[in-house]
Amino acid sequence: MPFTPGSIDPGSVLIAISQSGESADVLEAVRIAKGSGARVISIVNMLLSSLAQESSQVLAMNCGPEIGVAATKSFTAQLAVIYQIVDRLCHGCLKVDFGEISHAISGILADYHKIRKIASELRDSSDIYVLGRGVHHPIAAEAALKLKELSYIHAEGIPGGELKHGPLALMGPGTHWR
């Protein structure tokens, strides 16, 4: 736990992100932050959750119930909410057009057959390494987590510049990477 009582300044803001709003570690951090005088803003999918009740302000994702463990809908909604916050903080510097993003996602999903073909190729892999450089590394890590959770195939998200410092040595005939 990176937060301990007194480690957060009273004027700080903690943005707590949780699909369920019931994650014990997130709630503990929120309580420590509040005890230090910080303002808590939560991004949640469940408005009646403990996290929402503990927060100064609540931003609802409104993406409906998550059926699968991967929480893909709420992860995507969390990104959209965070982008909107950042865009407001920088006075519109991101030039985000969510209608355009929605259209682009529809185009990707329309390429269903190509995606299915690639997934079929990956099905028998023993390991999958997902590379992402810079700001894309957290997305690679999230993709690897979703692969592990749903396919039960070992997967790791690796920073692009780190491939040759260890992970490359792990790759064998049953390994796929893209």
DSSP assignment of 46-79: -TTSHHHHH-SEEEE-------STT-HHHHHHHH
Give the pLDDT of residue 160.
85
* Same-domain check for residues 131 and 104: no
* 17 and 104 part of one domain: yes
Q: Tens of pLDDT along 88-124? A: 999 989 887 888 988 998 888 888 899 999 999 999 8
Last residue of a domain, one of 91, 110, 129: 110
Tokens, residue 113: 């057959």
Q: Do 57 and 138 have their domain in common?
A: no
d(CA 64, CA 82) in angstroms, rounded, equals 18
**Do 98 and 153 fall within a single domain?**
no
| 178 domain-assigned | no
Q: In what order do the strands lie in the sheet containing 57-60?
A: 13-18, 39-44, 57-60
> Do 2 and 42 have their domain in common?
yes
- Exposure string for 127-162, b = 16+ CB within 10 A, e = fewer: bbbbbbeeeebeebbbbbbbbeeeeebebbbbbeee
In terms of domains, do 123 and 77 share one? no
DSSP string, 74-131: HHHHHHHHHHHHHHHHTTSTT---HHHHHHHHHHHHHTHHHHHHHHHHHTT-SEEEEE
The rounded distance, in Å, linking the Cα atoms of 177 and 45 is 33
Whether residue 50 lies inside any domain: the answer is: yes
Tell me the C-alpha distance between 148 and 45, whole Å.
23
The string of pLDDT tens digits covering residues 124-144 is 888 898 999 999 999 999 999
Q: Is residue 39 classed as helix, strand or coil in its secondary structure?
A: strand
Q: Considering the domain boundaries, does residue 55 fall inside one?
A: yes
> What tokens does 65 get?
């119930």
Both 98 and 163 in a single domain? no
103 contacts 129 by C-beta, under 8 angstroms? no
CB distance 64 to 39 below 8 Å: no
Provide the number of structural domains found in the chain: 2
Tens-place pLDDT, residues 23-49? 999 999 999 999 999 999 999 998 999
Identify whether residues 123 and 138 lie together within a single domain. yes
Please give the residue range of the domain that contains residue 168.
116-173
- Domain containing residue 148: CATH number: 3.40.50.10490
User: pTM score, two decimals?
Assistant: 0.77
